[in-house]
Amino acid sequence: MTSSIATPHATGTPMSFATYVEGRMPLALREPAEAKSFAEFVGEYASTAGPLRLGQWACTDGEGRRGPQAREYQATLALGDRIGTAYAAACGPVAALTEMLYTHGVSVEMTAFHQLRAGENTATFIRGSDGGNTQWAMGWSDDPTESALRAVIACANRLIAG
């Protein structure tokens, strides 16, 4: 999984971030999305800087399993200078990632989750809490699952930064 965000191309004056997203942004993010350019909004809410990074991601129990049951997930996580493999069984990838983070001492409770189309991409907005602080974050990808995972990592990094 790469962590770069492809910037939509625009000519002339930079457009606000909100012009790239189809549908209504979460209420708390509407004003900053209207006021900031794409690059400014991404720099604040979807920054890839921080001690927590997500490398490889996979559902390891194969495509044959369906229905309301836990799936097995595996990820390569880096926290500071420590890199390791994490495992979790959960009902979906976001639940698995938050479990993996918790197991590694990073608390992220999602209190809001929004996914919106953005052209050929998906923008995921989450509000997360660590029990004391609350932060909004965004993930951006052409894959909805990857977008959601990026949003969780961005939120965790924002929470860690305080």
CATH of the domain at 154: 3.30.160.270
Q: How far separated are the first and last CA of the chain, in Å rounded? A: 26
| Alpha carbons 98 and 81: distance in angstroms, whole number | 20
Query: Which string of b and e fits 34-67 if b means at least 16 CB within 10 Å?
Result: eebbbeebbebbbbbebebbbeebeeeeeeeeee
Name the domain count of the chain: 1
- Taking residues 41-57, report their average pLDDT: 94
For residue 8, the model assigns a pLDDT of 57
Q: Examine residue 112 and state whether it is found in any structural domain, yes or no.
A: yes
| Cα–Cα dist 63/121, whole Å | 24
Looking at the chain, the number of H-run helices and the number of E-run strands are 4, 6
Q: What is the pLDDT of residue 18?
A: 96
Provide the residue range defining the domain that includes 140.
Answer: 92-161
Whether residue 66 has pLDDT greater than 60: yes
- Mean pLDDT over all residues of the chain? 91
Residue 84, in any domain of the structure: no
Q: Is residue 111 part of a domain?
A: yes
pLDDT of residue 14: 77
Residue with tokens 């608390």: 107
Question: Looking at residues 63-92, what average pLDDT do you find?
Answer: 90
In a domain, 50, yes or no: no
CB of 70 closer than 8 Å to CB of 89 = yes
